[in-house]
Amino acid sequence: MRDTENMEAEMEYDDGEEPSFSDPEDFVDDISDQELLGDVLRDKPQEADGIDSVIVVDNVPQVGPDRLEKLKNVIHKIFSKFGKITNEFYPDADGKTKGYIFLEYSAPSHAHEAVKNADGYKLDKQHTFRVNLFTDFDKYMSICDEWEAPEKQPFKDFGNLRHWLEDPDCRDQYSVIYDSGERTGIFANDVKEPIEVEERARWTETYVRWSPKGTYLATFHQRGIALWGGEKFKQIQRFSHQGVQLIDFSPCERYVVTFSPLMDTKDDPQAIIIWDVLTGQKKRGFHCESSAHWPIFKWSPDGKFFARMTQDTLSIYETPSMGLLDKKSLKINGIKDFSWSPGDNIIAFWVPEDKDIPARVTLMQLPSRNEIRVRNLFNVVDCKLHWQKNGDYLCVKVDRTPKGTQGVVTNFEIFRMREKQVPVDVVEMKEGIIAFAWEPNGSKFAVLHGESPRINASFYHVKNNGKIDLIKMFDKQQANSIFWSPQGQFLVLAGLRSMNGALAFVDTSDCTMMNIAEHYMASDVEWDPTGRYVVTSVSWWSHKVDNAFWLWTFQGRLLQKNNKERFCQLLWRPRPPSLLTQEQIKLIKKDLKKYSKIFEQKDRLSQSKASKELVDKRRGMMEEYRKYRERAMDMYNEQRPLRLELRGGVDTDELDSNVDDWEEETIEFFINEEIIPIGDL
């Protein structure tokens, strides 16, 4: 049809009648030049007077002619990192420099970069640079002397952002994406069946993500990220980042990091953006060459620092300034990987061998940058860093090729972080390692090793006396993944995807196999935050049939089979750390039997055949009777003086109470007489 119209238009034009290109009278052009010619306008020459590439550096050492050349070399080395310097000017008086200098760059963007990164640079104990754009001085001179208070922003009440923690039955929540991503629901976990809390169509375009403490739910959209929370999941914040694909939260939930491959430009880094969650403001943007190892930035446990690794460099930034710690990165030749301790501001990183220099693992304290432990390693092929959840231990999985032998040998180097000088113990394994995982709140770890069909599961205990004992080994396991309960002690050995969903539920306190089960083609295993329940699921994203999620107890007893149409993803809502002290927790454990009776009674009530409506009705009737009885007792007490007056001052209410003063008397009286003839004797 469209081709026919085009042909007709061409025929009309050939006949000599020029088509009209005018807009209708009521046409409104609402497309901006920025949308049409964004890339062209960015390169448009800007009005300038030639000084927008000049910076002023204060607090420069005052030196004479004999030391001037050395000072120039130091300054040039520091500031040439931000761009090409075309002109330098060192004002002097009385044979000495004045303590401030002017530097001109080849482009204004280089000057902006120098101000952003070099301001506050500490040259020595007496000199810390203050760097400003030359064009900013007009702005500083025009600042009004009278301070004006900022306009008050109206308070937005989003309700109780942690309302789900007040559930009387302590039910945890989880998010479910199904219908091939078209629908997203929030459910409260219940033994009988999930209780729907909220459900929306096209809530997200790809997937969802909970914040670390469960306060926010993040959804993905073509134009950016939205955060939801409160009792009705209202929109709390949104961040505009076109084509966003990945997201990461700081542990304190104060910042969120987004990644988009579409927005990056040379002058304005926007591939990675760090946002302030409370205000919605952009804190800083970064370039990104590849997102293959997400997250690019790794956060310290308190959210005060975040770090990034590039070639031969480890850059550590601090919040809220988002600037480099001490204004400079760490030069670490050959750095391969790094990781923060979950419990302390300590970074662990490793460097491979270089000629005669051995590979090494280093533990560095921040912000002091003190190296608290260095471990040299030889004949290293690869290393992996595994922290225990509380930061009590660090396991470095080291793959080696010992001299004179063939094949790879794996050593587990266990760093005891809470002991003086951080001693290291070694566990050697000659079989291939499939999986490794620490017990979250304990000192045990589990290892899957060997090759199918002879895959072994070994459990080790790190003791206080410096020994690591093998507690138990299960042979011939169908497993390729280890999932510890968040509270420790219990775990699931799972054979996901290619192993057809084999499941083994293990109690590591005595290393007993509580149950062996199967969820065919299971792709994911998710523990709830309390460690009472675990979910296995078959995602539509990985397998197109049998999509469902099953709910199990920690002992491996199947409770539910939830077959959601084209089910995609289930994520438990995290819980924030407990506000109870260790002493209070110990006291609760001590009195657990007392609480158990209450819980068992509630469990029996929930499992009874009586419907919830009938139970609620009976409770309502009991409450009405209690209120009626209270009203009757109040009326009875109010009428007491009237009863005394009517009965001549005798308190008849007390007659039944003086039982001890009573005298017992037996009275006999005639009731009836009946004559029965017996017959002739």
Q: How confident is the model over 496-536, as pLDDT tens digits?
A: 988 889 999 999 999 999 999 999 999 999 999 999 999 99
611 confidence band (pLDDT: 50, 70, 90): low
The answer for residues whose C-beta is within 8 angstroms of residue 501's C-beta and 6 or more apart is 494, 495, 518, 519, 520, 521, 522, 536, 538
Which of 8-22, 42-56, 175-189, 250-264 has the weakest average pLDDT? 8-22
**Which pLDDT belongs to residue 301?**
94
What mean pLDDT is reported for the chain?
A: 86
4 confidence band (pLDDT: 50, 70, 90): very low
What is the mean predicted confidence (pLDDT) over 372-401? 93
Cα 492 to Cα 448: distance, rounded to the nearest angstrom = 12
- Higher-confidence position of 479 and 603: 479
Q: How many CB atoms lie within 10 A of CB 382?
A: 15
User: Which element (helix H / strand E) includes 647?
Assistant: none
**Which pLDDT belongs to residue 7?**
46
Asked whether the predicted pLDDT for residue 610 surpasses 70, the reply is: no
Distance of CA 463 to the CA centre of its chain: 31
Contact at 8 Å (CB) between 590 and 582? Answer: no
**Which pLDDT belongs to residue 3?**
47
- Is the pTM higher than 0.85? The answer reads no
Asked whether the predicted pLDDT for residue 356 surpasses 70, the reply is: yes
DSSP string, 411-446: EEEEEETTSTT--EEEEEE-SPEEEEEE-TTSSEEE
pLDDT in tens, 650-673: 877 776 555 566 567 777 766 777
User: Which element (helix H / strand E) includes 505?
Assistant: strand 502-507
46 confidence band (pLDDT: 50, 70, 90): low
**Which pLDDT belongs to residue 49?**
54
What is the mean predicted confidence (pLDDT) over 191-204? 92
pLDDT in tens, 122-176: 888 888 899 999 888 877 777 777 888 888 878 888 888 999 999 888 899 999 9
Calculate the dihedral angle through the C-alpha atoms of 237, 241, 246, 249, rounding to the nearest 10 degrees.
-40
What is the mean predicted confidence (pLDDT) over 342-352? 94
- Higher-confidence position of 151 and 253: 253
**Which pLDDT belongs to residue 608?**
65
Sign of the torsion angle spanned by Cα atoms 481, 482, 486, 490? positive
Which of 447-456, 550-559, 607-616 has the weakest average pLDDT? 607-616
Terminal Cα distance for the chain, rounded: 128
CA distances in angstroms from 553 to 495, 560, 567, 574, 650, listed in the order given:
18, 10, 21, 18, 67
**Which pLDDT belongs to residue 12?**
45
**Which pLDDT belongs to residue 391?**
93
pLDDT in tens, 488-504: 999 999 999 888 899 99
